[in-house]
Amino acid sequence: MSVVIVVGAQWGDEGKGKVVDLYTEAADTVVRYGGGANAGHTLVIGGQKIVTHLVPSGVCHPGKPCVLGDGMVIDPHTLIEEIETLQARGLLGHGELLIGQDAHVILPYHRRIEVLREERKGAIGTTRRGIGPAYEAKVGRRGVRIRDLYRRERLRELVHANLDELVPVMRHYGGDPPTDAEVDRWISDALAAGERLRPYVGDAGRFVAAKVASGAHVLFEGAQGSLLDIDHGTYPFVTSSSTIAAGACQSTGIGPSKVDRVIGITKAYATRVGGGPFPTELHGEAADALRTAGGEFGATTGRPRRCGWLDLPALRLGVRLSGMDGLALTKLDVLANMAEVAACVAYKLDGKELDELPTDVDDIARAEPVYARFPGWGPLRNVRTWDDLPPATKRYVEAIEKLAGVPFYLVSVGPDRTETITLRDPFGEQRRA
């Protein structure tokens, strides 16, 4: 097993950062494949908190290259800030960062358009990082790529061509178009950022392919979660990229036949940020208690996350979409000290029982969750082995494993690296236990 994809199995914020950090121990290279600074990965190492938005969560392991795949949309200024913060902590040394030259660039007008759209009724509730508009430009074949930051005239032409299309849209939303001086500044800032990033920019696809061919352990890190996937998520309440495992192949140009294993990450409960359907959502005191216990506030926007019970039909959908071989269960400790824990085990829709969450938002609105209830358990933060888990906790975990249809690779009982019950080796040979 040498190529492993770690992917969010819910609506993002599943705790991928901690799992990627742990798995990087045995990896040679870590590759982030989708999205941009909409993601926020919180790592707790030696009691210290580090948040990354663009650089993969494997960054805390010196000597292991971190790659930003071509499928990403990169805000160069955010990336520079992140590089500087990480380097000030002695991380990201020479040769440890590679930025795909074909990744797309987020420019200030992407954010401006998005903010204008988000101010309107019925908005998606995005992170306002310009992700959607940058991907729109990409598929519209007018996007600015990292490589364009080294061609002054081409960049100028591209920015002006984009603005010719976007200024009427800005006006339509009641916004002010940029002045000429502002546009000139955007261009010169982008060129300067390009120069700052130049030592790290290169052919990410070839680099990753060569690593894979050499048999090195390559770990792909997904961003957001399966249910936010542009094609298969709860559209239109999704992000604008392929968040599922297939996105790793798309982003770096490696073929699906090269992937050895896919591990999904799921929390022991569910959260969602922004708008969109969330049938197991809790409200009032129950939601507040879960939010406080789990620290469920966005790492990128600080927004309080919507909280609810684990949705197993949604998890099954995530397992199918990414062909997950197994799962990592995170934040199990957050459910400690509750009188009762519930999980949605099926949906009823039009007289039928569904074992997967429907993805059409109107169907989801009509679907009725069917819950199973489990007796609660005490604190788990000191538990390090499966055998030491309280019987009530084991019953809950086993019920999830059975309904998800794939085994657990690890169970996390706290944010620190050490607060982990390891069950299977992600790079181990055995495909199924």
The residue of the chain with the least Cβ separation from ligand IMP equals 274
Q: Which range, of 170-178, 233-241, 357-365, 375-383, touches ligand IMP by CB under 6 A? A: 233-241
When the beta carbons of 125 and 175 are compared against ligand IMP, the nearer one is: 125
Q: Which range, of 32-40, 70-78, 145-153, 369-377, touches ligand IMP by CB under 6 A? A: 32-40
8 Å CB contact between 85 and 59 = no
> In this chain, which of 13, 75, 82, 325 binds ligand IMP, going by CB under 6 A?
13
> In this chain, which of 12, 277, 279, 313 binds ligand IMP, going by CB under 6 A?
12
Minimal distance in Å, beta carbon 385 to ligand IMP? 31
The C-alpha atoms of residue 183 and residue 177 are separated, in whole angstroms, by 10
Would you count residue 230 as binding ligand IMP (CB under 6 A)? no
Would you count residue 322 as binding ligand IMP (CB under 6 A)? no
When the beta carbons of 228 and 421 are compared against ligand IMP, the nearer one is: 228
Binding mask 253-292 vs ligand IMP (x if CB under 6 A, - otherwise)?
--------------------xx------------------
Minimal distance in Å, beta carbon 376 to ligand IMP? 27
> In this chain, which of 79, 83, 131, 403 binds ligand IMP, going by CB under 6 A?
131
Would you count residue 233 as binding ligand IMP (CB under 6 A)? no
Minimal distance in Å, beta carbon 417 to ligand IMP? 21
Q: Which range, of 35-43, 90-98, 172-180, 351-359, touches ligand IMP by CB under 6 A? A: 35-43
Residue 184's Cα: distance from chain center in Å? 33
> Six-digit token pair at 203?
């052919």
The one-letter amino acid at 56: P
Q: Which range, of 222-230, 320-328, 358-366, 397-405, touches ligand IMP by CB under 6 A? A: 222-230
Would you count residue 24 as binding ligand IMP (CB under 6 A)? no
The C-alpha atoms of residue 188 and residue 318 are separated, in whole angstroms, by 42
> In this chain, which of 2, 24, 224, 359 binds ligand IMP, going by CB under 6 A?
224
8 Å CB contact between 7 and 244 = yes
Q: What are phi and psi of 293, to 5 degrees?
A: -60, -35
Q: Which residue has the tokens 């805000």?
A: 75
Q: Which range, of 205-213, 220-228, 310-318, 389-397, touches ligand IMP by CB under 6 A? A: 220-228
Neighbours of 258 (CB within 10 A): 16
> In this chain, which of 69, 132, 308, 414 binds ligand IMP, going by CB under 6 A?
132
Would you count residue 304 as binding ligand IMP (CB under 6 A)? no
When the beta carbons of 2 and 127 are compared against ligand IMP, the nearer one is: 127
Residues serving a catalytic function are: 13, 41
> Residue count at the site for ligand IMP (CB under 6 A)?
21
Q: Which range, of 57-65, 121-129, 168-176, 202-210, touches ligand IMP by CB under 6 A? A: 121-129
Would you count residue 125 as binding ligand IMP (CB under 6 A)? yes
Greatest pairwise CA separation for the chain in angstroms: 67
When the beta carbons of 74 and 191 are compared against ligand IMP, the nearer one is: 74
Interacting residues toward ligand IMP by CB under 6 A = 11-13, 38-40, 124-127, 129, 131-132, 223-224, 228, 237, 239-240, 273-274
